[in-house]
Chain A
Amino acid sequence: MRLPKFSYLVPQTVREAVKMMGDAGPAGQFVAGGTDLYPNMKRRQQTPETVISVGRLKELREIAGDGATGLRIGAGVSLTDIVEHPVIRRDYPAVAQAARTISTPILRNMGTIGGNLLLDTRCNYYDQNYEWRKGINFCLKKDGDVCWVAPGSEKCWAVQSSDLVPLMVATGAQVRLVSTVNERMVTAKGLYNDDGIQYLHKRPEELLTEIHLPPVNGWRAVYKKLRRRGAFDFPVLGVAAAINVGADGAVREARVILGGIAPAPLEVKEAAAALVGAPLDDERIAQAAEACYMKARPLDNTDHLMNYRKRMARPFVLRALEELRRSL
């Protein structure tokens, strides 16, 4: 498989990058590490005519702040640097932990945090080469008009498959989006849309430039991932859980987010509700796990049987919360 022909532009600044994107219009596409985009282009899943490389922009490669002030991470920071950064490891260990589960070391060297947060949704009717997709007469997400996962559906069910996304939502992160006309901050939660095609509340011309992690303030988080091979698979269920425990040992706030089972990260408020107001105990943890099990409704479009993925919500949430309890 070979890349199709396309124009490749290398801006020197963010301002220039967004200008280029404005000029390129809908046929334009930003690229950073390229670990997601280029394979997709080889398979003709994505077919930009102009690719604008932002991976080497210095402005996007900085990390500033710490757990007391909050952390600003440039979108072009490599996943390897996220895994190894001393401040992240010390103050936001769950971020380093989740990043470490992404793909392989070689791909983490190329892949960036920004790219990971914007990862194309995945589906095993879609992540196939052109001839294969032609064989099934394509699908809703690209070149076709049927969602083969749910043939009656008007919506695309491709799956949110980034490990960092559920964790960013759980930790209350925000991202900065920049275009030629404006700049805005969006919460991680607000960035994602529950549709496999329009999976982002981001306009195509907007460039994600940085990620803001809020001050730690007593929050602690954890990430658990279901996949067949620990070596490099995408998550087919991800559990990010964050809690803030008061001096009395009672959980003041909690967020439990499921990834890898729907087009967007799924916040299970019932799980959080089960946890808030008392110390973490077996019963509350079990209630939270049960709530996640009830809410998880994966479809048959990734590795592992869908019923199995649903069933795994229980032990994975259980283990995530038990790990948080142990960390107290």
Chain B
Amino acid sequence: MATNKNSNGFRRNDGNNADANGKDLKVVGKPFRKVDARAKCTGQTKFADDIVLPRMLYAKLLRSHEPHAIIKSIDTSKAEALPGVLAVITGKDLPIPYGILPVSQDEHPLCVDRVRFIGDPVAAVAAIDEDTAFEAMNLIEVEYEKLQTITSIEEAVLIDEPRIHDYGEGGNVHKSVHLEFGDLDEGFAQADLVREDVFFYEGNTHLPMEQHAAVAHYDSDDKLTLWTSTQTPHYVHRALAKTLGMRAAHIRVIATPNGGGFGGKSDPFNHEIVVCELSRRTRRPVKVTLTREEVFYCHRGRHPVLMKIKTGVKKDGAITAMDFESFLDGGAYGSYGVASTFYTGALQTVTYDVPRYRFKGLRAFTNKPPCGPKRGHGTPQPRFGLEVQLDKLAEELKLDPAEMRLKHLAPPNSVTANYLRIGSMGLGKCIEKVVKGSDWKNKHRKLPFGKGVGLACSSYICGAGLPIYWNNMPHSGVQLALDRQGGVRIQCGSIDIGQGSDSILAYIVAEVLGIDPFDIRVLTADTDLTPVDLGSYSSRVTLMTGNAALQAAERARELLSIAVAEKLCTPVENLSFADRRVFDVENPETGVTFAEAVVLAESKFGTIGTVGSYTPPRSPGKFKGAGVGPSPAYSYSAAIAEVDVDAETGFVTVERVWIGHDIGRSINPMLVMGQVEGGVYMGLGEALMEEMIYRANRNAVHKFPSMLEYKSPTTLEMCDVLTYLVEDADPNGPFGAKEVGQGPLLPVMPAVANAVYDAVGVRVDEVPITPEKVLAALRAKARGKEARFGPTGVPAVEWPDALKVLTPAEGGDGKEMPRVAVHS
């Protein structure tokens, strides 16, 4: 059995484990277990579906089997008459639209007059048990009037009528953007070599082990509680208040531990609103647990993206200009799609120096489950294209792809052409680690036919610089309560989706207060009890909640220090917090226990509670569209994949991945490595097999909404992984920490594609890289055609006029240049 040989894979960049002031760290940087590990491992964790309340009802949603149709009529009478059915609702019962982004309020809890994809819900029932609900659901009669179905990007840009939505850019184009930073013509004129390539990245889905589930209880005080498997309880809270027409203060959302999220539980969902309404009507608790098939319909996964990239380089590989076009197949609703569109054009500039840059992006509506954010949100697709194109450029320039990248890294502490502020930048070290670890120099272009290595790099944000709805409040808040018996409680709105965010809070507070992380009770993701954190998305949690926790803990320490210093008659600055004690560093036996310190502080100041919060720094970009991409810090990754390609069957086996990740600092290196490996694993699935595909000639029905036929690797398909953590503390991260939840996925797909080329000399310019595509490319090569499989072009569309911004190097101020009307 293939296993991850990581026992000795962990390589620290330096042996040093001290904070910025040189103080030894006791908790941060140590491989503590997660605070919720034992409950998870022993089955004690209560997920949403484990919740059972007295008199609870079960809900089912009737979903459309038409991909695009007008609802002519819905007859619920038979369902209502079925014994055991307590409520049946349809779209007219919940008419207020919602959506995660303020600019895309295009969803209804139940479709009102039109269905837009197979799986769109049209009615819901609550019954005494699931069997009755299921039976009742099938008694509901819906009459549809079919509309033409839009199944692809190409169709969407060609077919203006019928429109799937009556908002957007016109026709079935949801969003189109055009940004230009610097003089592209000048850039391409300076280039020694210009390449234009077209790539396609197929859509795929999150596939969390836990299906979405929710339990609502509308109680006798007209207060509503919703337990739900969500990554964004705060946004769900807002959506419930809006769609139910209730005061937010009367609604409590408790996010239950997520059995995997990966971005798939980041939207407010129709089933969450529906169970609330069913509970309001029946005054009984109502539960819904989606089937696996329904999870495929919720989707919000990776957008299929068609890309055209034109890049100019000097002989030494220095990029002179890049022109990037992306076309996103958005599916039936907006979801995060506007942000996804911008993300396909945002982070190209933060890895290598790109002095001039243009981005054109278009998102189309189609009659398929809506796409949204999946691990890497909008950035794996462009990263795939960019990194494969760089591999082609390096070959044409006769340069080593690793050397070429190393030579032209974006500098640390700089602002990119599109106004992203880079802080710490450890990509060079990541590349050096994997090049050395993999013996790249002796393998690349040197292995026998069928064996190959490929390199790719990437970067990801550590939290979105802006919230989803416009406001000036913190992105994350922490409340800390200290008990006179020595207990510490952390309250934070963040939700642990398995990444370890609850543990991070405990580690950071334990470090500051000198106690054991397991002395701390972490209370999270309950809108009644915890201050707002925006949610587990955009790799924001460690950095933002970490900074908020750090501030709250430092404030608590200050109170304790004053009280203890007074008692011990020592200067405050002499006090140290460690081993559950507060003591004089010059005289370590003089001190008090942590609990005594709390007693002293409580005696002096009253009940001890502190708060901390975090707001990201402002971005230097001021132009329209500058909101997507800025982040307090960027993580970096470099990966080398070694593959075996069976030229007779086309099967690609990834044998090993070496991956270097610039984490800034590991709060817990074991959890960091777990995330790196998880990213590699998910990346392998995207690289080799996963695809959300639909039968265009059969009603755009999802081809195989099941865990058996939607092919995703198992542990047996997993390769060996060697992980190198590069720790170059970032000034904006708590203890210097940056993200790891999403970034390490990004280099995997292009590294595999580049390795396949190294192995058998053919380019597969799309993912997944299936055996069929490898064989097709090999056959093309054998016939003397281009040794490639991939898309050949992009649709011709009319782009809006470019919004032009002078780059920082050109003396720009981050604002858009005034549009000059040209008259001829």
Q: Which residues of A contact B (CB under 8 A)?
A: 1-2, 5, 124, 127-132, 134-136, 148, 226, 228-233, 303-305, 308, 311-312, 315
| Contact of A315 with B648 in the complex, beta carbons under 8 Å | yes
Q: How far is the CA of A148 from the CA of B703 in the complex (A)?
A: 12
| Contact of B775 with A308 in the complex, beta carbons under 8 Å | yes
Task: Type the 1/0 row for B256-267, where 1 means its CB is closer than 8 Å to any CB of A.
Answer: 000000000000
Chain B nearest Cβ from A236, distance in angstroms = 11
Complex: chain B residue closest to A232, CB-CB: B714
| Contact of A135 with B701 in the complex, beta carbons under 8 Å | yes
Most buried by B among A127, A229, A305: A229
Task: Type the 1/0 row for B743-775, where 1 means its CB is closer than 8 Å to any CB of A.
Answer: 000000000000000000000000000011001
CB-defined A-B contacts under 8 Å, sample of 20: A2-B130, A127-B708, A127-B709, A130-B138, A131-B63, A131-B65, A131-B293, A132-B701, A132-B702, A135-B65, A135-B699, A135-B701, A229-B711, A230-B717, A231-B713, A303-B711, A304-B772, A311-B775, A312-B649, A315-B648
Chain A nearest Cβ from B776, distance in angstroms = 9
* Known interface pairs A135-B118, A135-B699, A308-B775; 5 further A-B residue pairs with C-beta atoms within 8 A, sorted by A's residue number: A229-B689, A231-B715, A233-B708, A315-B648, A315-B649
Chain B nearest Cβ from A238, distance in angstroms = 15
| Contact of B772 with A305 in the complex, beta carbons under 8 Å | yes
| Contact of B65 with A134 in the complex, beta carbons under 8 Å | yes
Task: Type the 1/0 row for B263-301, where 1 means its CB is closer than 8 Å to any CB of A.
Answer: 000000000000000000000000000010100000000
- B705 interfacial contact with A, CB 8 Å: yes
Closest 9 CB pairs of A and B: A135-B65, A231-B714, A231-B716, A315-B648, A308-B772, A228-B711, A305-B772, A1-B291, A135-B118
| Contact of B291 with A308 in the complex, beta carbons under 8 Å | no
Chain B nearest Cβ from A253, distance in angstroms = 28
- B698 interfacial contact with A, CB 8 Å: yes
Chain B nearest Cβ from A130, distance in angstroms = 8
Q: How far is the CA of A304 from the CA of B651 in the complex (A)?
A: 12
Q: Which residues of B contact A305 (CB under 8 A)?
A: 772
Chain B nearest Cβ from A291, distance in angstroms = 18
- Asked if A136 meets B701 with Cβ closer than 8 Å, knowing A131-B63, A231-B716, A232-B714, the reply is yes
Q: Which residues of A contact B131 (CB under 8 A)?
A: 2, 5
Q: Which residues of B contact A131 (CB under 8 A)?
A: 63, 65, 293
Chain B nearest Cβ from A266, distance in angstroms = 20
- Asked if A124 meets B701 with Cβ closer than 8 Å, knowing A131-B65, A230-B716, the reply is no
Q: Which of A127, A129, A230 is B291 in contact with, Cβ under 8 Å?
A: A129
| Contact of A124 with B704 in the complex, beta carbons under 8 Å | yes
Most buried by B among A128, A135, A305: A135
Q: Which residues of B contact A132 (CB under 8 A)?
A: 293, 701-702, 705
Q: How far is the CA of A303 from the CA of B714 in the complex (A)?
A: 16
Q: Which residues of B contact A2 (CB under 8 A)?
A: 130-131, 134
Q: Which residues of A contact B648 (CB under 8 A)?
A: 315
Q: Which residues of A contact B293 (CB under 8 A)?
A: 129, 131-132
Q: Which residues of B contact A135 (CB under 8 A)?
A: 65, 118, 699, 701
| Contact of A136 with B775 in the complex, beta carbons under 8 Å | no
Chain A nearest Cβ from B538, distance in angstroms = 31
Count of residues in B whose CB is under 8 Å from the partner chain:
32
| Contact of A303 with B291 in the complex, beta carbons under 8 Å | no
Chain B nearest Cβ from A320, distance in angstroms = 13
| Contact of B711 with A136 in the complex, beta carbons under 8 Å | no
Q: Which residues of B contact A228 (CB under 8 A)?
A: 689, 711
Complex: chain A residue closest to B705, CB-CB: A132
Q: Which residues of B contact A231 (CB under 8 A)?
A: 713-717
| Contact of B714 with A229 in the complex, beta carbons under 8 Å | yes
Q: Which residues of A contact B63 (CB under 8 A)?
A: 131
Q: Which residues of B contact A129 (CB under 8 A)?
A: 291, 293
Q: Which residues of B contact A (CB under 8 A)?
A: 63, 65, 118, 130-131, 134, 138, 291, 293, 648-650, 689, 698-699, 701-706, 708-709, 711, 713-717, 771-772, 775
Most buried by B among A132, A148, A231: A132
Chain A nearest Cβ from B726, distance in angstroms = 33
Q: How far is the CA of A124 from the CA of B703 in the complex (A)?
A: 8
Q: Which of A130, A229, A311, A315 is B713 in contact with, Cβ under 8 Å?
A: A229
Q: How far is the CA of A148 from the CA of B138 in the complex (A)?
A: 23
Q: Which residues of A contact B706 (CB under 8 A)?
A: 127-128
Q: Which residues of B contact A130 (CB under 8 A)?
A: 138
Q: Which residues of A contact B65 (CB under 8 A)?
A: 131, 134-135
Complex: chain A residue closest to B688, CB-CB: A228
Q: How far is the CA of A132 from the CA of B699 in the complex (A)?
A: 11
Q: How far is the CA of A226 from the CA of B650 in the complex (A)?
A: 12
Q: Which residues of B contact A148 (CB under 8 A)?
A: 698
Q: Which residues of A contact B715 (CB under 8 A)?
A: 231
Q: How far is the CA of A132 from the CA of B703 in the complex (A)?
A: 10
Complex: chain A residue closest to B66, CB-CB: A135
Q: How far is the CA of A128 from the CA of B65 in the complex (A)?
A: 13
Q: Which residues of B contact A315 (CB under 8 A)?
A: 648-649
Q: How far is the CA of A131 from the CA of B138 in the complex (A)?
A: 9
Q: Which residues of B contact A304 (CB under 8 A)?
A: 771-772
Complex: chain A residue closest to B129, CB-CB: A2
Chain A nearest Cβ from B666, distance in angstroms = 31
| Contact of A303 with B709 in the complex, beta carbons under 8 Å | yes
Q: How far is the CA of A148 from the CA of B65 in the complex (A)?
A: 16
Q: Which residues of A contact B714 (CB under 8 A)?
A: 229, 231-232
Q: How far is the CA of A229 from the CA of B714 in the complex (A)?
A: 8
Q: Which residues of B contact A303 (CB under 8 A)?
A: 709, 711
Q: Which of B118, B698, B705, B717 is A229 in contact with, Cβ under 8 Å?
A: B717
Q: How far is the CA of A226 from the CA of B646 in the complex (A)?
A: 13
Chain B nearest Cβ from A274, distance in angstroms = 20
Chain A nearest Cβ from B117, distance in angstroms = 11
Q: How far is the CA of A311 from the CA of B650 in the complex (A)?
A: 11
Complex: chain B residue closest to A4, CB-CB: B131
Q: How far is the CA of A148 from the CA of B701 in the complex (A)?
A: 13
Q: Which residues of A contact B716 (CB under 8 A)?
A: 229-231
Most buried by B among A1, A124, A131, A231: A131
Chain A nearest Cβ from B120, distance in angstroms = 12
Q: Which residues of B contact A136 (CB under 8 A)?
A: 698-699, 701
Complex: chain B residue closest to A125, CB-CB: B698
Chain A nearest Cβ from B695, distance in angstroms = 8
Chain A nearest Cβ from B643, distance in angstroms = 16
Chain A nearest Cβ from B687, distance in angstroms = 13
Chain B nearest Cβ from A151, distance in angstroms = 10
Chain B nearest Cβ from A183, distance in angstroms = 36
Q: Which residues of B contact A233 (CB under 8 A)?
A: 708, 711
Chain B nearest Cβ from A111, distance in angstroms = 15
Q: How far is the CA of A237 from the CA of B306 in the complex (A)?
A: 32
Q: How far is the CA of A284 from the CA of B775 in the complex (A)?
A: 25
Q: How far is the CA of A315 from the CA of B649 in the complex (A)?
A: 7
Chain A nearest Cβ from B684, distance in angstroms = 11
Q: How far is the CA of A1 from the CA of B294 in the complex (A)?
A: 11
Q: How far is the CA of A136 from the CA of B697 in the complex (A)?
A: 11
Complex: chain A residue closest to B771, CB-CB: A308
Q: How far is the CA of A304 from the CA of B131 in the complex (A)?
A: 35
Q: Which residues of A contact B713 (CB under 8 A)?
A: 229, 231
Q: Which residues of A contact B775 (CB under 8 A)?
A: 308, 311
Chain A nearest Cβ from B138, distance in angstroms = 8
Complex: chain B residue closest to A227, CB-CB: B711
Chain A nearest Cβ from B196, distance in angstroms = 29
Complex: chain A residue closest to B646, CB-CB: A315
Chain A nearest Cβ from B553, distance in angstroms = 45
Q: How far is the CA of A315 from the CA of B701 in the complex (A)?
A: 33
Q: Which residues of A contact B699 (CB under 8 A)?
A: 135-136
Q: Which residues of B contact A308 (CB under 8 A)?
A: 650, 771-772, 775
Q: How far is the CA of A303 from the CA of B63 in the complex (A)?
A: 26
Q: How far is the CA of A131 from the CA of B65 in the complex (A)?
A: 8
Q: Which residues of B contact A128 (CB under 8 A)?
A: 704-706
Q: How far is the CA of A1 from the CA of B292 in the complex (A)?
A: 9
Chain A nearest Cβ from B178, distance in angstroms = 37
Chain A nearest Cβ from B187, distance in angstroms = 42
Complex: chain A residue closest to B137, CB-CB: A131
